Every structure is written in structure tokens, then in C-alpha cells.
Amino acid sequence: MRAPHRLPALLLSAVGLLLPLALATPAHAAGMRAMDDRELAGVQGRDGLAFNLAGFSLGPSSSGGNYSLTYVSPASTAAQPSTLTLSNFTLSRSDDADPFADPYTLDVNARPGLADVISIAFPKNLAANQKWQFGTELAVDANGLKFDAGHLGLTDLVFYGGGLDISTPATPGVDGVAFGLATRFSLAALTVRPRGSADASEQLQLSGLRLGNSTQTAPWVISDITRQPGLFNAITDADGRSALHLQIAWPTTADPVPIGALEIDRIAFTSNGVTTDFGSSRIAGIQLNFVDIKFRAGP
């Protein structure tokens, strides 16, 4: 069995080793020797790679530009466009007093008999100091109709731990990206305003969202890279139609499927300035035993 290794730590270790050797006298340099594959396989680091997004900001306030993202359907033409556009991006994050006290970490971990896994662990963010703000304008141009869907905004999005694992599928002949995902987050408000961000007379707002494990004390493991992997790839059906494919496989072990919970403190619609409050909602137990979703363009 190959010993676990972490490539970023290995690279940093190699730099630290080569620097003093480069400054050594020729007599010391003469003592260098090549390491064979077996010796290299036994090298392992302990710390991986840590990084953070201190002071992150994207949008007109940070650059003076207008960031946009456009999805173009394969059937789209200049005469008959079929597009979805997200424009006027604003994305920013607040930081801890010490921006590197609670970083992201990236590791490459070995698995016996399977492909290595790139693991990104998110900050624990126990004090909820790292908060995300996001806003964009939605527009659809399809079937001869242009529709401005208005503003989508996320206020005080806070992630608490969790992480993302990425590897290649373990099933022979299956292409794509295998993933594991665990997350716990809270969101002060999700707001949709069809008349634009400045007009609150028409809107849908969900306030006080929380998603985590069944007790809201830890991340909910939506997919596990080894026991219940997720899959994202492009497929072609038997009828020749292509699609983007998102799947969470059936569990491969007898371990119980993790249970998640979703809480929403308030659901409210506003129309012509009049707000209708639908109160709160809670889903106490969510289990994803199998998910299979195909995204197709066109009719």
C-alpha cells in the first residue's frame, strides 16, 4: 500500500531542501544522489497548503467594471438567441481580525487501490466573522422573448466548516468528476426582486435559513467521496440527446446515510407594497439515498 502523501507540502519541502544545497560548496553537492520511486513514495508532509480570501471583493465597487456570466444554449443562434445572463455581479466577504487564523486547507490524499483525492477543508468560522454578500441581475432571452427576472441577493451567508473532495470516478468506463460535499451554513436573507434591487415593492424573501446536520451543530454530509460519491459529467442518452448530469450514487456501504435539516424562520411575499407573511418552515430530516438529475438545453 502506498503511503499517503500531500503534494503541496512535498513541493515546499523540496524547495526547503534544495535551497541550502544550492548554497553548499561543490564538495557537499557531490554527495547528492537521486531518489528512486519507492523512496519518493514514502515521503509525506503534514500541513498541506493553507490559504485564505482576506479582503475578497468582486464587483463595480472593487474594480469599476461590470462582471457578467452568460450561458448560451447549443441551439442558440444570432437570429434566435437562447441565453441566460447573470449581470452586475457583486460578491464580497468580511474577515476575522486575524485573516489567516482560520484558513482554507488543501491536501492531496491517497486511497488504497483508488485515485488520489483533492480535499479542500473550509474554515470552521465558529465566531461567524466570515460573512458573504452576493447580488446579481437575471435575464433570459429565449424563444423570441426577453425576460428580465430581476435581482437575486444573498445577505450574510455564513459557512461553518465542511469541505469538498474531488477525484475521478471509481467505476470503470465512467468519465467525469467524482465529489464529496459536506456543508453547514446560515443565511440572513435570500431576496428576489423582479423590478430590480432598488425596488422592494415586489419581492420574495426567505429569512433566517439554516442548513446542517439534523441538530444544526455540524456540517451535513451530502455526498461522501468513497461511501456515497457524487458525480458530475456530460452524457449522451440512447436517443442521442446530450445533457449535463448530476448524480449522488447509492450508498456503497452499510453505514447509515447522513441526515440533514433545513430551517427557515420566515417566508414572505410582497406585492404592490403589501407583504403576506407565511411564517416559518422546517424540514427536520433530509436523506439523499440517490439523486439523478439531467440538464438539457432546448425543448
pLDDT (0 to 100) of residue 105: 94
Per-residue pLDDT, averaged over 52-77, amounts to 78
Q: 203-213 and 260-271: which strand pairing?
A: antiparallel
Nearest residue to 293 via CA among 241, 229, 234, 247: 247
Nearest residue to 247 via CA among 185, 168, 299, 177: 177
Angle at 165 between CA 169 and CA 14, to 5 degrees: 105
pLDDT (0 to 100) of residue 297: 65
pLDDT (0 to 100) of residue 220: 98
Question: pLDDT over 90 for what percent of the chain?
Answer: 56
- Answer whether 117's CB lies under 8 Å from 139's CB: no
What distance in Å separates the CA atoms of residue 247 and residue 231, rounded to the nearest whole number? Answer: 5
Per-residue pLDDT, averaged over 62-73, amounts to 74
For the segment 98-138, what is each residue's pLDDT rounded down to a tens digit? 878 899 999 999 998 899 999 999 999 999 999 999 999 99
- The answer to whether residue 143 scores a pLDDT higher than 70 is yes
For the segment 287-297, what is each residue's pLDDT rounded down to a tens digit? 999 999 998 76
Nearest residue to 213 via CA among 287, 122, 121, 125: 287
Residue of higher predicted confidence among 263 and 37? 263
Which of 16-20, 94-98, 169-173 is least confident? 16-20
Nearest residue to 233 via CA among 218, 244, 241: 244
pLDDT (0 to 100) of residue 65: 61
pLDDT (0 to 100) of residue 42: 66
Domain boundaries, the chain: 1-47, 53-295
What distance in Å separates the CA atoms of residue 156 and residue 160, rounded to the nearest whole number? Answer: 13
pLDDT (0 to 100) of residue 177: 96
What distance in Å separates the CA atoms of residue 154 and residue 187, rounded to the nearest whole number? Answer: 7
pLDDT (0 to 100) of residue 7: 37
Per-residue pLDDT, averaged over 206-223, amounts to 97
pLDDT (0 to 100) of residue 41: 65
For the segment 178-209, what is each residue's pLDDT rounded down to a tens digit? 999 999 999 999 999 999 888 999 999 999 99
Per-residue pLDDT, averaged over 30-54, amounts to 69
Residue of higher predicted confidence among 61 and 55? 55
- The answer to whether residue 26 scores a pLDDT higher than 90 is no
pLDDT (0 to 100) of residue 10: 35
32 band by pLDDT with thresholds 50, 70 and 90: low
- The answer to whether residue 24 scores a pLDDT higher than 50 is no
pLDDT (0 to 100) of residue 45: 54
CA-to-CA separations, 61 to 67, 68, 138, 251, in angstroms, rounded: 11, 15, 19, 46
33 band by pLDDT with thresholds 50, 70 and 90: low
